[in-house]
Amino acid sequence: MALRLPGRALWQASPRLATLSRVSTQAPRWTRSYAIPPLEENRTAIVTGSSRGIGKAIALRLANDGYDICINDVEANKSGCDEVVKEIEGLGRKAFAYTADVSNLNEVQGLVQASVSELGPLNTMIANAGISQVKALLDLTEQDLKRMFEVNVFGLYNCYSTAAKQMISQGGGGKILGAASIVAFKPFPLLSHYSASKFAVRGLTQAFAMEMATHKITVNAYAPGIVGTAMWDQIDEGLGELKGVKKGDTIKKYSEDLIALGRTSVPEDVSSTVSFLASKDSDYMTGQTIVIDGGIVFT
């Protein structure tokens, strides 16, 4: 006749088994590789179009996060760049201004070289510079289209590619971020070529993410909505003229009718998200375009 013992009795009966854990608690082990240096190391970033607006807010936020910053804009905005440099230095971080037009590849290459020379190896590139224009689709000229894509698409490509080559030569990975927009998901009327340029930003961001992954470089974009900046003031004024309404009415109507949270965004809403995308906390994200619009576009 077979002898059957309860499991508890068998466990207690065997001195050898009694010394073993019933469940293995050994967790798998792996080494996490960060796309930016640890906090104790120097971190540097270039922020294009950072003399004012969202770019300025991003530069100040990254400085507060511990970055040394290269401030960039076109020559016409140099005084604004110098003011941002002073603010960053007041926060105890290094900063310097370098004027360059992002649509000119040679100037972007000079920008990156200057940043590395002044601040050290490049960890983060924020391709923030961009332009907009309010104009009916059938009224667009060849020059309108050309200039929009020169700055918003070729300019982004120049920043992405030049920064990537620098990061690859340094080794150790890096972060590349670009400015998209909600119109990269849902075009606005009278902003057709601007919308198309921002769709291209999404495409380039995804393509770069795939090809840069092997170099431990992550590439993402941020998509602001309706923000209280000089660019949106220009859009508001242009739409107002075309629709016959006074300045401020269009952006007010958009904010009330379109934004779930019921208010126009401020640059700091965007810079907070960029701070996350530039940090180690986003190391497992690449090829994404993150919308920060208060609830206009839902992805």
Kindly give the confidence (pLDDT) of every residue in the chain, 299 residues in length, as a single tens digit, with 9 standing for 90 and above: 444 444 444 444 444 434 434 433 444 444 445 455 555 478 999 999 999 999 999 999 999 999 999 999 999 999 999 999 999 999 999 999 999 999 999 999 999 999 999 999 999 999 999 999 988 999 999 999 999 999 999 999 999 999 999 999 999 999 999 999 999 999 988 899 999 999 999 999 999 999 999 999 999 999 999 887 666 677 777 777 766 777 777 667 777 788 999 888 899 999 999 999 999 999 999 999 999 999 999 98
Selected catalytic residue, list 67, 160, 194, 222: 194
Task: Decide if 270 is inside a domain.
Answer: yes
Task: Write the CATH number for 279.
Answer: 3.40.50.720
Task: Decide if 231 is inside a domain.
Answer: no
Q: Name the residue among 182, 184, 187 with its Cα closest to residue 137.
A: 187
194 is catalytic: yes
Phi-psi region of 150 (alpha: psi -120 to 50; beta: other; left: phi over 0): alpha
Domain count for the chain? 1
Task: Decide if 139 is inside a domain.
Answer: yes
Task: Decide if 232 is inside a domain.
Answer: no
Domain span at residue 105? 40-226+266-292
> CA-CA distances (angstroms) from residue 225 to 17, 18, 96, 252?
63, 63, 29, 13
pLDDT score, position 42 = 87
Selected catalytic residue, list 67, 160, 198, 254: 198
Q: Name the residue among 61, 58, 66 with its Cα closest to residue 41.
A: 66
pLDDT score, position 17 = 39
Beta strands in the chain (DSSP E): 43-47, 67-73, 95-99, 124-127, 174-179, 217-224, 289-292
Task: Decide if 136 is inside a domain.
Answer: yes
pLDDT score, position 299 = 87
Q: How far apart are CA 242 and CA 244, in angstroms?
A: 6
165 is catalytic: no
Q: Give the CB-side neighbour count of residue 13, counting CA atoms within 13 A.
A: 6
Q: How far apart are CA 299 and CA 71, in angstroms?
A: 32
> CA-CA distances (angstroms) from residue 256 to 75, 243, 262, 294?
37, 18, 5, 11
Backbone angles phi, psi at 102, to 5 degrees: -65, -20
Task: Decide if 64 is inside a domain.
Answer: yes
Q: For the residues of 99-126, what is the DSSP string, one character each?
A: E--TT-HHHHHHHHHHHHHHH-S--EEE
Q: How far apart are CA 224 and CA 236, in angstroms?
A: 16
Task: Decide if 207 is inside a domain.
Answer: yes
Task: Decide if 173 is inside a domain.
Answer: yes
